[in-house]
Structure 1
Amino acid sequence: MRGAPAGIVYGGLKYQARCIADVTADSDHTSFLAGTLSLKEENEVHMIRLSPSGSELVCEGLFYHPNEIWDLKSCPFDPRIFSTVFTSGETYGASIWKIPELYGQSNAPQLEQLVSLDEHSFKIKCVLWWPCGKHDRLISIDEGNLFLWSIDTSNKVAKVISQESVGMLHNLSGGAWDPHDRNAVAGICDSSLQFWDLRTMTKTTSIEQANVRDLDYNPKKQHLLVTAEDVSGIRLWDLRRPKFPVKELPGHAHWTWIVRHNPKYDELILSAGTDSTVNLWLANRPGNDDLVPESMFDVPTQSKDSLLNSYTDYEDSVYGLAWSARDPLVFASLSYDGRVIVESVKSYIRRK
């Protein structure tokens, strides 16, 4: 592993936090949204921007949010719209918000609530935007159901198109929307991954015996995804052969909590966990883009030399990771104590 220069720190979050998201639709700046998780205080959403010189992180906007934020996603086609999943005591909710136009001219401007996703009767886990441009559909996942919504943010309307239940014996904890197919979504379900066709709300396939905490689709290559798992660390999968992983990476010393493919250099993968560490991996897939022989899937390839760098400037668990879509050599991480660090991976690209 090579040494890397120290990252840029933003210490403006006053409370504990888990959620950070790249503002993908902001093509002019490298920007992130971070949301706090305070039980007793009024929570906040911070718009954090990397300065033009790339030397500091600036708070471009600070917005009060009524409840603890457990999930935050930025709209991929409008930089002023984002979604949150939040809790107030035993009650969970999900809403889509809009940042006021003149947010820089007020000390604490109010967020505009566009729609509330209030058809859920179970604990809501996440909201998913289709990641590849404008789409009038939205997915929300609670512990027992997957909802597909029709969204009209201009008229503040959200309608349920369809709903699928996983049954009383199973629990959903998260998911991801396939960037290559707007009709395909993956859900994390107990000790398996379940995949649905949104047109019919029927299951298409599954990956069993996978204790998954997080997953991310490969943004460049269809059928490929990466998972963060309690026992096995990090696994790469080809959905055309879902019985065995293509490759395994060691993961973290404690729970591996989150994994993210780089949006441009898809062989670069970030992971973070409760060992207060962020790892950067070079995860070459064996063979070419065609299916590798079936025998290649029987025994995963252990790649201890795939770890490019470990970032250890944290004093708490790291739950949030976000690559910048505008500058894919940059990523932001968020530790539970509210510390945001932005790093560059430019020095590692030559090694591909």
Structure 2
Amino acid sequence: MQGGSSGIGYGLKYQARCISDVKADTDHTSFITGTLSLKEENEVHLIRLSSGGTELICEGLFSHPNEIWDLASCPFDQRIFSTVYCTGESYGAAIWQIPELYGELNSPQLERITSLDAHVGKIKCVLWWPSGRHDKLISIDEETLFLWSLDCSKKTAQVQSKESAGMLHNLSGGAWDPHDVNAVAATCESAIQFWDLRTMKKINSIERGHVRNVDYNPKKKHIFVTAEDESGINIWDLRKPKSAGTDSTVNLWLASLYSSDEFTSESLVDSPTRRVDPLLHSYSDYEDSVYGNHCNFHVFPCILSYTKADWLSLDLKALLGAIVSLGSLRHYPMMGG
């Protein structure tokens, strides 16, 4: 679907609450998203931004047997992804593969590689090792973090370790730090928690109510973005974690989006008092709670955020918002550009 002066949009047949950038597709800006229909057969859409940045193109459409509540693309194989799904009675998680010649098939079917069956609680998300070819996965349910070893050739996944966050925390999502593969951020109702995978222990936290999701900036240390209730998207600098903006606002921080040698490689969770980058711009016209966000820096750097409805829109500036917002296609011009 093309976009006019108000931006670029892509319509989904049913509601969606999850989207992921396809990290392994280094030649294009690509996304994968899944729908959330209770009664109809759900769909997985493989979407690609045209070379001119003017159109979102559906590269593949695949049926999925259940409601998709979380979706994440494999960082080393663009045809592999994970979903967290609901059968109506319980939640599950699986690893899928798109058929190699899907573009030449009339009705291409997804192949289930394996399932992540160790969970007792309600599964919230699956996290892939941030970059490169690696066999590790993390899955998070309401109370527990699991570290898995995945073997795609044997179609198996084995639990390596797990740790409970406690019944009172009610985990809702998480992100794997691309700059420190031993660090994972997990969100819950009252805080953002930081975990060390070497010990599977929580080592720090930021008290913050009603955070739904979190993602790291893959090009810059210390920077991550949270999606929160009351329509809030906040971008944080972990050198000063009390610096994020207010709720009901999209805050774009001038955070030197691409990597530099300005700062040392010290752990994010160990340096909470460093200088914060200045606020660049704010947007506050969301009408719904923001359910999640992802960063993509392949061709057009962007932050993906989505509410609970069935539209995607893209702003193709230095920071971009891919927003799922009911019937609304919005373009946010950046200051100075």
Q: Does TM-score exceed 0.5, indicating one fold? A: yes
Which residue is 1:128 aligned to? 127
* C-alpha separation in 2, matches of 1:145 and 1:107: 41
Which residue is 2:297 aligned to? 325
Which residue is 2:326 aligned to? none
Deviates more, 1:89-98 or 1:55-64: 55-64
Which residue is 1:29 aligned to? 28
* C-alpha separation in 1, matches of 2:204 and 2:246: 26
Secondary structure, aligned partner of 1:132: coil
Deviations 1:136-191 (A, max 9, x none): 10000000110000011122110000010122333111111111121111222331
What amino acid is the match of 1:236?
A: W
Closer, same or farther in 2 for the Cα pair 1:216/1:156, shift >3 Å? same
* C-alpha separation in 2, matches of 1:125 and 1:159: 19
Once the two structures are TM-superposed, the CA of residue 84 in structure 1 deviates from its matched residue by: 0.5
* C-alpha separation in 2, matches of 1:216 and 1:283: 17
Which residue is 1:225 aligned to? 224
* C-alpha separation in 2, matches of 1:141 and 1:109: 30
* C-alpha separation in 1, matches of 2:100 and 2:247: 42
Which residue is 1:257 aligned to? none
Closer, same or farther in 2 for the Cα pair 1:316/1:41, shift >3 Å? farther
Deviates more, 1:136-145 or 1:183-192: 183-192
Which residue is 2:103 aligned to? 104
Closer, same or farther in 2 for the Cα pair 1:142/1:245, shift >3 Å? same
Which residues in structure 2 correspond to 1:61-210 (within 5 Å)?
A: 61-210=60-209
* C-alpha separation in 2, matches of 1:6 and 1:182: 38
Secondary structure, aligned partner of 2:52: coil
Once the two structures are TM-superposed, the CA of residue 331 in structure 1 deviates from its matched residue by: 5.7
Deviates more, 1:198-207 or 1:229-238: 229-238
Deviations 1:322-344 (A, max 9, x none): 44332134565555332122220
Identity of aligned residues (%): 56
Closer, same or farther in 2 for the Cα pair 1:40/1:217, shift >3 Å? same
Closer, same or farther in 2 for the Cα pair 1:109/1:317, shift >3 Å? farther
* C-alpha separation in 2, matches of 1:301 and 1:148: 32
* C-alpha separation in 1, matches of 2:229 and 2:312: 25
What amino acid is the match of 1:74?
A: S
Secondary structure, aligned partner of 2:84: strand
State the TM-score, normalized to the length of structure 2.
Answer: 0.80
Deviations 1:269-311 (A, max 9, x none): xxxxxxxxxx4613449xx7479xxxx969x9897x632667x
Deviations 1:217-251 (A, max 9, x none): 34344444343444786362426xxxx73413234
Which residue is 2:8 aligned to? 8
Secondary structure, aligned partner of 2:195: strand
* C-alpha separation in 2, matches of 1:28 and 1:302: 30
Which residue is 1:247 aligned to? 243
Secondary structure, aligned partner of 1:104: helix
Count residues with an aligned counterpart: 309
* C-alpha separation in 2, matches of 1:169 and 1:26: 39
* C-alpha separation in 1, matches of 2:195 and 2:306: 31
Secondary structure, aligned partner of 2:103: helix
Closer, same or farther in 2 for the Cα pair 1:179/1:6, shift >3 Å? same
Which residue is 2:214 aligned to? 215
Deviations 1:20-72 (A, max 9, x none): 11111112222111100000000000111122333322211110000000101
Report the aligned-residue RMSD. Answer: 3.3
Closer, same or farther in 2 for the Cα pair 1:307/1:198, shift >3 Å? same
Which residue is 2:315 aligned to? 343
* C-alpha separation in 2, matches of 1:8 and 1:72: 22
Secondary structure, aligned partner of 2:244: strand
Which residue is 1:263 aligned to? none
Structure 1 unmatched runs, 5+: 254-278
